[in-house]
Each structure stands twice: as structure tokens, then as C-alpha cells.
Amino acid sequence: MLQKESSNSKKGILLVNLGSPRSTDVKDVKEYLDEFLMDERVIDYRWIFRALLVQGIILKTRPPKSAEAYKTVWTDEGSPLIVITEKIRKKLQKLVDVPVEIGMRYAEPSIETGIRSLVEKGVTEIVLFPLYPQYAMSTTETVIEKAEEVRKQKFPEVKINYIQPFYNREIYINCLAESIREKLPENFDALQFSYHGVPERHIFKTDPTKTCNLNDCCSRENNPSHQFCYRHQCFKTTETVIEKLNLPKEKVIVSFQSRLGKDKWIEPYTDETFETIPKRGIKNLAVVCPAFVSDCLETLEEISVEGKHQFTDAGGENFHYIPCLNDEDRWIEVVKTLCEEKLNEFYLV
Ligand SMILES: C=CC1=C(C)c2cc3[nH]c(cc4nc(cc5[nH]c(cc1n2)c(C)c5CCC(=O)O)C(CCC(=O)O)=C4C)c(C)c3C=C
Ligand SMILES: [Fe+2]
Ligand SMILES: [Fe+2]
């Protein structure tokens, strides 16, 4: 179906996610954080200042704390993020007749490892799928930059076609809405959409129009800045999902989690929201994290464990975490459709 008989080229799919440390040992967590935070698209300071902050400050204190957090979510098979990405791969592989591999932006299996595995199977044309619904410099952009660097240096004969952020694709929104609908508790006072945050500066930096003011601009229809505005894309995801769910806006909260450092990140902050909403009468809360397609440290520990404590300590009664899409069959169908669209584009060029 997807392999063209007459073509000499062989196609393949690479699913790319963020990546996790090799193990929960402090030295492995340190190595992972070093690679992650020294990425100029994550901590976007000049090299010398980034090195001073990351190697001089963060890596001196954070690794043991992060390692403890990872221990609370680690499974016998390994990091949830990698285990779930591998499950997605296996299910997708059953539905398509081209090889499917995974690659992580940080640590192993790396993007290079993934491309190499495909090349060893004879693949010359790759559809690379960054598994992030919304665009961010620290996610989609860094994945594409890294893959291009690896391709040019190690596999110049290979072509790569990139799947773009899919927050505005109806098939994805329908899938997410259905998944949430099935998991919502019968009674809840509010549904909170908690997205991973980014520093405000990142939004300004990637705005080609230099018009986004991080305010009403992000919610306005048809603004050319939206293509690279993570904040807009998170709001749009929420808006279209709640429309499908027929939920009134008054019952919905949007917030941004996981901030790091002293810079101003996009607001409101998830942890502060958990601590203030019980006082506004919200005692029964459902929470979903649509910036992640697979559960990971940031959902399983920061939200389901820490977030629940923050909410109940502040007077909240019931905290219901709604898992990510993970390897749900309807999500695998969406992954397949998005990959097939890009595989077919190879035939058009
Ligand atoms: C939408 C996805 C993500 C964005 C945007 C993002 C930006 C971002 N993250 C950090 C710092 C950290 N993130 C950490 C973990 C982590 N981040 C994402 C996704 C996004 N990050 C995921 C899926 C995970 C979990 C990985 C896992 O193994 O499960 C961590 C490490 C954990 C910790 O020590 O807290 C850090 C650090 C920055 C600075 C940033 C944007 C600038
Ligand atoms: Fe915006
Ligand atoms: Fe992160």
C-alpha cells in the first residue's frame, strides 16, 4: 500500500519523543540534564552564560532531586516515556508496511540511532514525527534541527519529511476529546488543561511577525504569529476540545506547568492554580495534560502526585488525573493517518 512498486526508494517512519535518563542513578540523570539543558533551544542564553547556569548551578543541585522523582515513576521496563513511545511504535508497526523506529531528542535511543536502524533496513526516505501537538522552540524546532544536523553529517543520502504540529487537526482533536470524555469523572467542578510551560522570551523569539503580546493576541483568530506561538496553540487545543465536549468555558482552566529558573514563564502557573482554586469553591478537579502524548515524569509525578497534594492541602477534595493518549488505539490511528499523509508526499516530489 505505502511502498511504490516502481520506486527504488524505501520509506520508513521515525517517531521522536523527548527522552529520559538511562536509569534513575544520579550520574545518569546528571548526564541527561546536561545534554537537555545545554541545548541552546531549551536554555537559550549565550553559551558561556548557559554553561555557567547549567553546569555551575543547576547540575550541582538538581540531579539528586530529579533522580528521586524519576524513582517514583520508573517501571521494571524503564522510563514511562520511553516504554510508552515503544508501545506506540509496536502498534503502529502492525498497521503500516514500512519500518517504524523510535528516536529521542536527548539520551538513548537517539535520533541518530533511530535513523541508523532505518537505514540498515534499506530506508532512504524517512517521515519523522516529533510527538508534540503544539510547536515550541524547545520541542519541535530542536528535534528538526538535530535531525537535520545528523542527516547532513551522517546520512546525506537520506531524505526526511517532517510532520508539523497537529494541535489544529480535526482527527487529533476528535481523538483527544473522545479520550477525555471516556475518562472524565461523573462529577467535577472544573477541568484543568495543564500544558508544559516555556519562558515568555521563547514566544517572542520565535514570533516572525513580532506582534504577539502574550495577551489577547494569542486568542485572536487568524494572526500570522500563531504558527509559532506555543501559547496560542495551547489555547486553541483547549478551545476546540471543549467545544467537542460541550463544556462551558466557566468550567475550564488553562495553566502551564514545570517552570525552571528565575525567568518569567507563560502564565498562569499550574502549581499556583492548584493552591488557589479550592478557595474559589473548586473542590472536585479533573486534570489533563495535552502537551504530552505519552505519560512521563511531568504528568505522573508533578501532576498526579505533587499536584494532587498541592490541591488537597489547599482544601481540594477530589483530584482526578486523566492519562495521556499513550497507546490508545484511536490515537495510533491518528498517528498512522498523519504518517501516511507525509509518506504520500514523497511520491509527489
Ligand atoms: C511540550 C513539551 C515540553 C516543553 C515545551 C518543554 C520545555 C522545557 N522543559 C524544560 C526543563 C525540563 N523538562 C523536563 C522534563 C520533561 N519535559 C518534557 C516536555 C517538554 N519540555 C517532558 C516530556 C519531560 C519528561 C521527561 C521524562 O523522562 O519523563 C526536565 C527533567 C526533569 C526534571 O528535572 O524536572 C527538565 C529539567 C525547560 C527548561 C523547557 C523550556 C525552555
Ligand atoms: Fe501568541
Ligand atoms: Fe520539559
Atom 3 of ligand 1: nearest residue by CA position: 196
User: Three-state SS string across 257-300, please?
Assistant: ECCCCCCCECCCEHHHHHHHHHHHCCCEEEEECCCCCCCCHHHH
- Within 10 angstroms of residue 27's Cβ, the number of other Cβ atoms is 12
**Mean of the per-residue pLDDT values of the chain:** 96
Rounded CA-CA distance 310/316 in Å is 9
* Residue nearest atom 21 in ligand 1 by C-alpha distance: 196
Residue-wise pLDDT for 222-234, tens only, equals: 889 999 999 999 9
Q: Examine the domain organization and report whether 161 and 174 are in the same domain.
A: no
Candidates 278, 304, 274; CA nearest to 292 is 304
In a domain, 1, yes or no: no
> Domain range spanning residue 150?
11-165+329-346
The whole-number average pLDDT for the span 268-283 is 98
Q: What pLDDT shows up at residue 1?
A: 47
Cβ-proximal residues to 22 (8 Å cutoff; 6+ apart), any chain: 28, 31, 32, 107, 108
153-174 per-position pLDDT tens digit = 999 999 999 999 999 999 999 9
Q: Are residues 242 and 313 in the same domain?
A: yes
Domain shared by 104 and 88, yes or no: yes
Instruction: State the closest ligand 1 atom to the C-alpha of 65, by its place in the atom list counted from 1.
Output: 34
The total number of structural domains that make up the chain: 2
Asked, for residue 298, whether it belongs to a domain, the answer is yes
Here the CATH number for the domain that contains residue 248 is 3.40.50.1400
Q: Are residues 90 and 224 in the same domain?
A: no
Residues with CB under 5 A from ligand 2 (ion): 212, 218, 229, 231-232
Q: Is residue 70 part of a domain?
A: yes
Q: Is residue 12 a contact partner of residue 92, using CB atoms and an 8 Å limit? A: no
Q: Quick one: what percent of the chain has pLDDT higher than 90?
A: 93
ipTM, two decimals: 0.97
Query: pTM of this prediction?
Result: 0.96
Q: Are residues 130 and 265 in the same domain?
A: no
Burial of residue 296 (CB within 10 Å: 0-12, 13-18, 19+) is: buried
